[in-house]
């Protein structure tokens, strides 16, 4: 018996491929049973009106994949050891939906995180950033990036590519790029570092992941700024660390509060140059307290220095790592803010004695990012385009920042508190009498992108307000957008005032 196999002579797929697929489906859905004999190639060819070589090709493929067996004297049979339950492993049903969930157990760490839908993932890390409009958080002024120049460098590198460059490169990232970064960090960020301490990674998120793997075990306590950077929280959660929220005030992380809450934490993640999201700069006394506590208690400090190149009213503030005589700071930097986020390049500055451990953990993950992008970036820095770009963007963002602060003062007067406007590409706005999440949803319908401040808190006592990105919002758009925001806030406050009266009457 030959199962019904539809052969379409007009289809672009070769006939032997169609026959192979037809037979394979018949085997996997149980139409052809284990041990069942197949017609001879000559017989099947004449039955289906095909050439014998077509049938032989299809049989050969099924033999090679183990669906068929050929025995001298008994012809070709369906492999007798295949499971004989029709449809059990039909590849058409392979989406997992029919399986019992108990059999599809995932690791506990995967279950610690909320799943992210494909629709959200399609919009990048911040699904909301797919929305256009004012104040999108974390977006840089892409249209002001010297794109033609970058394309020129890409082309030049592509032309110069030789076969040697196809090999695995340096495991910690391109030497040329590490040299450029080290020299930039020493001058611009007062970092103590040599190229040999630098590891190129694909953004700060990966840097934090590597540092966590090297430094922390499940159950270890980690201080996190409260409010703080919520994308880092998931890394610590997934590694089973105990997250200890530590208050942030006008001087940055409150070290005494941290010591009171959890003295023996293994690590602290801090953003001292421009605290995320409040934007405060950690004071000198707090820096020394933190370093002193870290040395005394054997704690690692992870310094996330994500956007401090843009400082508007004073010279850039030096980093914490440069003040640390005890080499307890692991410094994390990224090109996502200063260039563009799809570049996916960042770096770690690692204390020399930990370098070999970091490399070992890194090699167990993914080795270095693609060498080609690294080479182009090294050219960009070496030829002076990077510092020129930074200077230009500092002026552009300074203007946007000033217009935003002025517009907020005009619209809200004393009714809103602004923090963090001295640096970076966002500021924080605290507002009383609103629910920031609810208002953000309403604002989205009006093309206004408001990141609720309350999302950045772990504990219940949350400030309400918004983190407003001004990187991709032009100075011309800002006044009207702030007016829109005030109208929304006014009506939300009116509703919350009216509501209790309605209930009372």
Ligand X SMILES: Cc1ncc(COP(=O)(O)O)c(C=O)c1O
Q: Biggest alpha carbon distance in the chain?
A: 95
Minimum Å gap between C-beta 7 and ligand X is 52
Which residue(s) pair with 249 in the sheet? 252
**How many residues does the structure list for the chain?**
505
Closest to ligand X by CB, 21 or 455: 455
Minimum Å gap between C-beta 138 and ligand X is 4
198-201, strands of its sheet edge to edge: 198-201, 346-349, 329-334, 300-304, 267-270, 221-226, 242-249, 252-253
Got the DSSP string for 338-366? TT-GGG--EEEE--GGGHHHHHHHHHTTT
Residues 439/489, Cβ–Cβ less than 8 Å: yes
Q: Is 456 in the site for ligand X (CB under 6 A)?
A: no
Closest to ligand X by CB, 54 or 456: 456
Candidates 33-41, 203-211, 258-266, 437-445; binding stretch for ligand X (CB under 6 A)? 203-211
Q: Which of 54, 139, 191, 336 binds ligand X (CB under 6 A)?
A: 336
Minimum Å gap between C-beta 49 and ligand X is 59
Minimum Å gap between C-beta 202 and ligand X is 8
Minimum Å gap between C-beta 386 and ligand X is 16
Q: Is 465 in the site for ligand X (CB under 6 A)?
A: no
Q: Is 276 in the site for ligand X (CB under 6 A)?
A: yes
Q: Cβ–Cβ contacts within 10 Å for residue 193, how many?
A: 22
Instruction: Give the E-state strand segments of 45-154 in sequence order.
Output: 68-71, 75-78
* Half-sphere exposure of residue 49: CA atoms within 13 angstroms, side-chain side: 5
Strand 252-253 with 242-249, pairing: antiparallel
Total site size for ligand X, rule CB under 6 A:
13
SS3 content of the chain, % helix, strand, coil (to 5): 45, 15, 40
Nearest to 315 by CA among 218, 188, 226: 188
Q: Is 351 in the site for ligand X (CB under 6 A)?
A: no
Q: Is 272 in the site for ligand X (CB under 6 A)?
A: no
Structural Rg of the chain based on CA atoms: 30
Nearest to 349 by CA among 321, 372, 368: 321
Closest to ligand X by CB, 186 or 230: 230
Q: Is 346 in the site for ligand X (CB under 6 A)?
A: yes
Q: Is 421 in the site for ligand X (CB under 6 A)?
A: no
Nearest to 194 by CA among 12, 331, 367, 397: 331
Minimum Å gap between C-beta 204 and ligand X is 4
Q: Is 204 in the site for ligand X (CB under 6 A)?
A: yes
Instruction: Look up residue 71 and give its two tokens.
Output: 């025995």
Q: Which of 223, 229, 300, 397 binds ligand X (CB under 6 A)?
A: 229
Q: Is 341 in the site for ligand X (CB under 6 A)?
A: yes
Q: How far apart are CA 169 and CA 370, in angstroms?
A: 9
Q: Is 374 in the site for ligand X (CB under 6 A)?
A: no
Q: Is 138 in the site for ligand X (CB under 6 A)?
A: yes
Minimum Å gap between C-beta 276 and ligand X is 4
Omega prior to 374 cis, within 30 of 0: no
Nearest to 19 by CA among 35, 37, 41: 41
Q: Is 271 in the site for ligand X (CB under 6 A)?
A: yes
Minimum Å gap between C-beta 282 and ligand X is 14
Candidates 51-59, 197-205, 394-402, 486-494; binding stretch for ligand X (CB under 6 A)? 197-205
- Could you say which residues in the range 295-314 bind ligand X, by CB under 6 A? 304, 306
Candidates 199-207, 288-296, 457-465, 476-484; binding stretch for ligand X (CB under 6 A)? 199-207
Q: Which residues bind ligand X (CB under 6 A)?
A: 138, 203-205, 229, 271, 276, 304, 306, 334, 336, 341, 346
């Amino acid at each position: 018996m030959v199962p019904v196999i539809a052969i379409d002579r007009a289809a672009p797929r070769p006939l032997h491929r169609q026959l192979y697929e037809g037979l394979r489906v018949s085997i996997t859905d149980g139409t052809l049973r284990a041990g069942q004999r197949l017609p001879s190639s000559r017989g099947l060819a004449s039955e289906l009106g095909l050439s014998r070589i077509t049938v032989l090709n299809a049989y050969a493929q099924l033999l090679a994949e183990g669906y068929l067996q050929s025995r001298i004297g008994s012809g070709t049979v369906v492999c007798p050891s295949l499971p004989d339950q029709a449809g059990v492993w039909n590849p058409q049903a392979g989406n997992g939906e029919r399986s019992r969930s108990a059999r599809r157990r995932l690791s506990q760490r995967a279950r610690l995180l909320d799943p992210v839908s494909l629709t959200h993932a399609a919009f990048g890390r911040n699904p909301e950033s797919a929305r256009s409009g004012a104040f999108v958080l974390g977006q840089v002024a892409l249209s002001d990036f010297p794109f033609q120049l970058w394309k020129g460098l890409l082309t030049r590198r592509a032309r110069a590519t030789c076969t040697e460059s196809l090999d695995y490169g340096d495991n910690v990232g391109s030497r040329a790029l590490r040299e450029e970064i080290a020299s930039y960090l020493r001058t611009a960020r007062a970092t103590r570092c040599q190229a040999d301490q630098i590891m190129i990674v694909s953004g700060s998120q990966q840097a934090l992941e590597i540092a966590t793997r090297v430094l922390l075990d499940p159950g270890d306590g980690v201080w996190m700024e409260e409010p703080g950077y919520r994308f880092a929280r998931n890394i610590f959660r997934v590694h089973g660390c105990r997250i200890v929220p530590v208050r942030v005030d006008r001087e940055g992380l409150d070290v005494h509060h941290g010591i009171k809450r959890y003295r023996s934490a293994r690590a602290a993640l801090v953003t001292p140059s421009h605290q995320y999201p409040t934007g405060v700069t950690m004071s000198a006394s707090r820096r020394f307290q933190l370093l002193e506590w870290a040395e005394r208690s054997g704690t690692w400090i992870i310094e996330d220095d994500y956007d401090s190149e843009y400082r508007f009213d004073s010279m850039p503030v030096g980093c914490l790592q440069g003040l640390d005589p005890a080499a307890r700071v692991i410094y994390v930097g990224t090109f996502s803010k200063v260039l563009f986020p799809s570049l996916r390049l960042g770096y770690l500055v690692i204390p020399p004695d930990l370098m070999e451990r970091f490399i070992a953990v890194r090699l167990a993950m993914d080795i270095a990012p693609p060498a080609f992008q690294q080479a182009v970036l090294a050219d960009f820095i070496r030829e002076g385009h990077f510092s020129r770009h930074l200077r230009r963007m500092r002026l552009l963002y300074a203007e946007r920042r000033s217009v935003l602060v002025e517009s907020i003062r005009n619209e809200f007067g004393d009714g809103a508190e602004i923090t963090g406007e001295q640096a970076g590409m966002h500021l924080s706005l605290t507002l009383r009498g609103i629910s920031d999440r609810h208002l953000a949803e309403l604002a989205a319908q009006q093309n206004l992108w408001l990141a609720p401040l309350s999302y950045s808190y772990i504990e219940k006592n949350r400030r309400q307000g918004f983190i407003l990105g001004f990187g991709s919002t032009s100075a011309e758009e800002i006044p009207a957008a702030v007016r829109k925001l005030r109208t929304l806030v006014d009506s939300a406050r009116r509703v919350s005032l009216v509501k209790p009266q309605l209930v009372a009457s």
